[in-house]
Amino acid sequence: MRENWRIKVSVVAGVSALAFSALMAAPAVADEAADSLQEVQMPAGVKIVEGLAPVVGPDAPSLEPEADAPFSAAAAAKAAPAANTCLGSTAAYGSKGCFQHNGDIVWAGDTQKDGMSAAVGVYTDYGRAAEVCINKLGVNTWATCNKDYRETGNVRLRVFRYDGDTGKFYQPESWSGWIPVDGKY
């Protein structure tokens, strides 16, 4: 009898702990601003690069949320992407980013008028130092950072906000999956 009681107490304690951890670990909604900004700690030595205004044409990705659906990683995996396709489209509150494999161009889009800039961090799977492309051009604009990554490597994007006055990065943030630099999934 005493053994059954211990099992029941253990099960109740385990379920309670699991429910509490699920409640506390819920991520912030990416489409809404957090009530108070949460600073993001960046790796030591991360290089910050100010993006340039691109020549906007038919190759430019859209800042509209639903317009980039054909450029998602899942869609790109089904067919060989065109040279101008922006892969790994990733968004969080106020920021959007993607990677154009033809030319190794990182796109950073600012989607909120909040006094902050869009930031797209780029990480590689082969040890190159992380870099962050910052869009200081204002809301509803794209900025590009032209890089040169190893063609046999992969990149991963991290999208979040940047406060140029303090030099700090803020959540909410979002990560892409690994994107092949050569564009071949």
pLDDT digits 0-9 by tens, 66-106: 444 434 433 333 334 455 688 999 999 999 999 999 899 99
Q: Give the per-residue pLDDT at 6.
A: 55
Q: Say what the pTM is.
A: 0.71
Closest residue by Cα to residue 106 from 91, 92, 88, 93: 88
Give the residue with greater pLDDT, 84 vs 21: 84
